[in-house]
Amino acid sequence: MGKRKDKPRIPPYLRGDDYSGNFAMIPPDLFEMEGFKNLTYAARAFYLMIAAHVTSMQQRECLYNALQEYNQILSLGLNEEDIKESVWGNKRAHTFSRLFVIPESHLKNYGYSAAYANKLKKELIEKGFIKIKYGGKGKYTAWSKNVTIYEFVSEWKKFST
């Protein structure tokens, strides 16, 4: 019996040469749902970029650090396991992390300016795709120059048929 080589399962036309193994699974019916079709083309592309971004190690490290800071400053009562589950999800329960951060340095890597990304994030928030979990100008603001932690939500599905 021959040795099995671990080959990337993502087709080469959907990945870069330095494929890291992180990807976002996007089901085709997402593109057919009214809520998704009601987004501008730019917001759709931005949403898909975020979906792929949340699986990156760089994003997870930033999220972990931000959650630790919020936990300490706001006394959220999260223990280390809670923070890790918020970042990585729970493999046994088949849950994925719904939280993400996207610092300005990451946006620049993807070709977005901070101002344009803020406009797109605002559209995604208004249409029920994401919400601010901690930070911004909401209830859980820790300090004036804080990292905003966002959460993927499914409120947009209420408006889709």
Which is higher by pLDDT, 58 or 40? Answer: 40
Q: Sketch the domain layout of the chain as residue ranges.
A: 29-159
Q: Could you tell me what percent of the chain has a pLDDT over 90?
A: 29
Query: Is pLDDT of 144 > 80?
Result: no
* Helix 57-74 / helix 80-88 crossing angle, nearest 10 deg: 140
d(CA 13, CA 150): 30
Is pLDDT larger for residue 135 or for residue 116? 116
Q: Is pLDDT at 7 greater than 60 in this prediction?
A: no
Q: Residue 117 pLDDT more than 90? A: yes
Averaged pLDDT for residues 44-64: 89
User: Helix axis angle, 114-126 relative to 41-53, nearest 10°?
Assistant: 100
